[in-house]
Chain A
Amino acid sequence: MHLDYIDEFREPLLVKRWARLIAERAREPCTIMEICGGQTHNILRFGLDTLLPSSIRLIHGPGCPVCVTPTAMIDAAVALARIPGTIVCSFGDMLRVPGSRESLSSARAEGGDVRVVYSPIEALQIARTEARRKVVFFAVGFETTAPANAAVIAEAARLGLTNFSVLVAHVLVPPAMAAILSAPHCEVQAFLAAGHVCTITGSHDYQRLASRYQVPIVITGFEPVDVLQGIYLCLEQLRSRKFEVMNQYERSVRRNGNEAAQRLVEEVFEVRDREWRGIGVIPRSGLGLSPAFAPFDALKTFEIALAPPADTQECRAGDVLQGLIKPPECPAFGKRCRPESPLGAPMVSSEGACAAYYLFKRKNDGEI
């Protein structure tokens, strides 16, 4: 069989067969959270929620690193961009995320040298070619992105680059899932875990969560067939009262994950407590540089202190990111808060739940 790993997982007849099977098997009402913003995006883009029976409620998880990066971290990036001679390199999604006063995009408009990169490799190349400038890479991401960022930091160390540093805002998924499951009003009965995060980490941490919180977890891919299959496997576990980790995305996820990537991450980073925007501090939920790589810490190099949180009260991103409300239930949604003038990060990122509802719900059914 010839595969391109995309089209065959979007094949409309196959998608309809899965939707029909789910409708036949769904009995009890249930609430399933998809962790990853990429899954949220595709659920709305392909209208998968509209193919499901009304007894199945999908709620959208915190899996958008851009959305959970705290205001203080954005402020630090803006402060770095304002230091004469620095170049701040960032993934494009971060540019319009509002800090407490401004965004990287507005800092750039006022003369800051902020450059959008697709890969951290580009930031390293800029540091090598612009040897007189100080280059800071805004290292944002979940476990999926940590190995790439670690590789670039290790390479900078090997090359002995002294004009390259990183603003580390890495977060980890399992502690956030534990925080959601421990919350008093948690309604999540099953999880679609994020396939690309688990491609790196494997499934061990999730097995502990599944048994401790008695919750089915299905590691799930991103295409329509993947998401529907993940939902089906959650339903089957709920029906048979099993609380296990299943791997729907087995074409990419190995039980032990990508061990070469894990080794490099463990060498370059160490686990730290981290603030999540709109949620608060979650213990051991982030990464910082390990002592051996501390010379690459931009906060230390430029002596910048992170400020305490100061999020707008009007933005209910924290509730959205924990699945407590859906984006249209926020009073500001689509009114004071739109993609062109966002109050919070989930309206900015292409994977933010608010932006996904704004873009696709409007197109699909004109609800807004």
Chain B
Amino acid sequence: MCLAVPGKVMSISGEGLQKQAKVSFAGVVRDVNLAFTPLAKPGDFVIVHVGFAISLLDPEAAARTLDLIDTLTD
């Protein structure tokens, strides 16, 4: 139920509760509401749940998560 998936913001229109984006999920493009991620820009990745973006993904934090094992096993 809390299934939410990352997608890439392609374009943005509207404002406030009506702020919308075209978001690509591995090539499949859907309309997503951006009311809760007002800072998202084209090219950013967002996590999308039931048609709403709930977070703007942080690429630096993602890289830290992927690299953590190197700092623990060196």
Residues of A within 8 A of B (CB): 1, 3-6, 8-9, 14, 17-18, 21, 36-38, 63-66, 91, 93, 118-122, 140-142, 144-145, 147-148, 151, 154-155, 158, 194, 196-197, 199-200, 221, 225-226, 229, 248-254, 258, 260-261, 264, 349, 351
Contact = CB atoms under 8 A, between A and B. Distances in A.
A260 B35 contact: yes
Contacts of B37: 258
Given A118-B50, A154-B17, A196-B49, A144 B66 contact: no
Contact of B55 (A18, A155, A194, A253): A253
Interface in B31-74: 33, 35-38, 45, 47, 49-52, 54-55, 57-59, 61-66, 68-69, 72-73
A17 B69 CA distance: 8
A148 B2 contact: no
Contacts of A249: 65
A120 B62 CA distance: 30
5 contacts: A3-B63, A4-B26, A21-B73, A63-B2, A197-B2
Nearest to B69: A17
B33 A9 contact: no
A274 B45 CA distance: 35
A152 to B, nearest CB: 9
A294 B21 CA distance: 31
Contact of A145 (B49, B72, B73): B49
A251 B38 contact: no
A5 B36 CA distance: 20
A258 B56 CA distance: 10
Contacts, number: 134
B73 A250 contact: no
Chain A to chain B: the 6 pairs with minimum beta-carbon distance, closest first: A119-B51, A5-B6, A144-B2, A251-B62, A251-B61, A250-B61
B67 to A, nearest CB: 10
A121 to B, nearest CB: 5
Contacts of B63: 1, 3
Contacts of B52: 119, 147-148, 151
Contacts of B17: 151, 154-155, 158
B1 interface: yes
B54 A199 contact: yes
B51 A121 contact: yes
B60 to A, nearest CB: 8
Q: Say which size band chain B's interface belongs to.
A: 20 to 34
Contacts of B66: 8-9, 14, 225
A118 B1 contact: no
Contacts of B62: 3, 5, 8, 251
Given A151-B17, A196-B4, A229-B68, A261 B54 contact: yes
Contacts of A148: 33, 49-52
Nearest to B45: A5
Contacts of A154: 17
Contact of A17 (B5, B58, B73): B73
Contacts of A18: 69
A263 B3 CA distance: 22
B11 to A, nearest CB: 18
Contact of A21 (B45, B50, B69): B69
Nearest to A197: B2
Contacts of A147: 36, 52, 54
A188 B69 CA distance: 26
Contacts of A142: 1-2
Contacts of B38: 260
Contacts of A351: 1, 3
A299 B46 CA distance: 35
A145 B36 CA distance: 12
B61 A3 contact: no
Given A91-B1, A118-B50, A258 B55 contact: yes
Most central of B5, B17, B36, B58 by chain A CB within 10 Å: B36
Contacts of A226: 65
A194 B4 CA distance: 12
